[in-house]
Chain A
Amino acid sequence: MPGLFATLSATAKALEAQSYGLDVTGQNIANVGTAGYARREVILTTTAAPDPFSMGAGVQVSGVTATRDRLLERRLQLEKPSETREGAIADALGVVETMIGTSGSSIDKQMSNFFDAASRLSADPTAATARQDFLLAAQNLAGSFRDMASRLASAQQAADARVRGNVDEINGLTAQIARMNNQLGQVDPNGPQALTLKDQEKVALDRLTALIDVTAIERADGGVDLTVGNGHPLVIGSDSIALSAPQTGIAGFVDVTTNGNSILTEVTGGEIAGNIQVRDQFVKDYQTRLEALATQFVTSSNAVHTAGVDREGHAGGALFTTVPASGIAASMDVSTAIAGTATTAANLNKIAAGSIVGAPGDNQAARDMANLRDALTMDSGRATFSDSWGQLAYKVGNDTQAAKEEQASRQAIVNQVQSLSDAVSGVSIDEESMTMLKYQRAYEANAQFFRAIDSTLTTLFSIVN
């Protein structure tokens, strides 16, 4: 037969356990919107009876668990980097697509205007207005090439800046995870502190996997070790190894290194991979295409112009000049001999419209220039200038669309895995609320008898005594 103290002890434990269980339910409700929070469940165990004659010593809380599906979480960590990489590409290329402009409103329009001006010049090669019109069209076209080259360079620099920003954020997160690893090693691995730390670590890890594809290896104490690329350590226990972003890459762009080793080509997922791809592949490809177009345009038009004769009877000079070291598209401009400078006036007579000396009405050079519109000068003689620009614009649009579709596809996978993960770990506020209400209602149904029972007990006491 248990003694009074044993009974009181059992009652106290039961009260404590029940209070703890309800507190956990309250925690679940309070954290329904907290990122990374996994639903807690109380593990109650019956306390062993102190002697063979006792019914038991009550109930006690033996632990609290966070309901998590490690497999789903790992799957999510694998899918997330691909989704965010495509998202970063789609976002950046969306901006480039806007820069390129719609068909007929960008460089293609300026090229068309230039050839139209050459046609008008051929119709009246001695007219000053036609020559002025031609000069203006040439200047506008050169300006368009420069502007486009500048915009693409800006897009590349913006991607480079984002890579740098990604590295800073990654370093912040790995340092944070290392600190949590350290804390996890100092607390009870089954206690509520450890669960809270794991929740916070999951949030940091989720963001990290959105930034870069890492390999996470769970530690015995609940923390994680992280590696990147071909096994380069990022976090080992309580130590984090920071990534660096020295400006030693191509064209002064940042490299991504760890312990002095470049991992630029090893990073294949996350926002940083998307930004690297935008900078080093996509925009670079567009720049190459633009440069090829500008180079061929300058070469062809200069060839026509130098083969012609200007109004002063001299052989035509170069129509366009460039500074190859700065890039043809980026430096393309109309020759100062024709357009003048800040201090010298334009000389329209330097425009070579004919090809015969002493024949003012000759328009051969102007006609040849206008005919360049349909000449198959690009893509090894298979495309016109306009075709070549169209291909570039199509490539940008196609890349953007492909990235968006890939992102949508990856997003669907991430959502599906997230839903499955939430079904296990998430807190349903309705479920928790209804659980508490159900218990309360059930208790109230019993409580309606308490007054009668109390009265009965009093009566019985009086009889017994």
Chain B
Amino acid sequence: MQPSVDREPGAHPVAVGLRTTLERLAAALTNVNLDTLLACEGEMASALAATNKPVEVAPESRAATARELLAARAALVRCSRLGATLADLTRLSLASQGVGQTYGRRGESRATAGVHALEAKG
């Protein structure tokens, strides 16, 4: 008997899972929603775990799967850009206060000049 061409996990549900998670992540980055950001980590791990099994694509779902994959890739690029923006802004903002990368909860590396240097900004 021929194996099912769309057996679980099929390519389409995997693509949908990845696309959904990445779009949720992008939305969380956009709306600055920390809870969703944290929740996405687990979802991302689960979506990836599903791809460990062999997947096949049913001919009838090929087009839909392709669209999901394109959307997932777009979401991935968007997440990367949003993340890069966030990282840059965080780094620059902390640096402007004289806070370096080793900044911790107690602010060990905080310098004194940074804040005053940017006070003229606003």
Contacts and interface: CB of A to CB of B under 8 A. Distances in A.
Interface of A: 7, 11, 14-15, 17-19, 21-23, 25-27, 29-34, 37, 44, 58-59, 196, 199, 429-430, 432-433, 436-440, 442-447, 449-450, 452-454, 456-457, 459-461, 463-465
A449 B44 contact: yes
Interface of B: 11, 14-15, 18, 22, 25-27, 29-32, 34, 37-38, 40-41, 44-45, 47-48, 51, 55-57, 62, 65-66, 69, 71-74, 76, 78-83, 85-87, 89-90, 92-94, 96-97, 99, 103, 107, 115-116, 118-119, 121-122
Main secondary structure of the interface of A (DSSP, over half): helix
A439 B86 contact: yes
B34 A31 contact: no
B32 A18 contact: yes
A35 B69 CA distance: 51
Contacts, number: 165
B11 A463 contact: yes
A14 B15 CA distance: 23
A433 B79 contact: no
Given A15-B82, A460-B14, 9 more contacts: A23-B89, A26-B93, A30-B119, A31-B122, A34-B119, A439-B37, A446-B37, A453-B48, A460-B51
Given A454-B76, A461-B69, A436 B89 contact: yes
Main secondary structure of the interface of B (DSSP, over half): helix
Contacts of B82: 14-15, 18, 443
B40 A460 contact: no
B66 to A, nearest CB: 5
6 closest pairs, A vs B, by CB? Answer: A442-B37, A31-B122, A14-B30, A30-B118, A30-B121, A22-B89
Nearest to B36: A442
16 contacts: A15-B85, A21-B32, A25-B89, A26-B96, A27-B121, A33-B116, A34-B119, A436-B90, A437-B90, A437-B103, A439-B37, A444-B87, A453-B18, A454-B73, A460-B11, A463-B55
The interface centre, meaning the residue of A19, A22, A444 with most chain B CB atoms within 10 A of its CB, is A22
A436 B94 CA distance: 9
A464 B99 contact: no
Nearest to A19: B85
The interface centre, meaning the residue of B57, B66, B92, B118 with most chain A CB atoms within 10 A of its CB, is B118
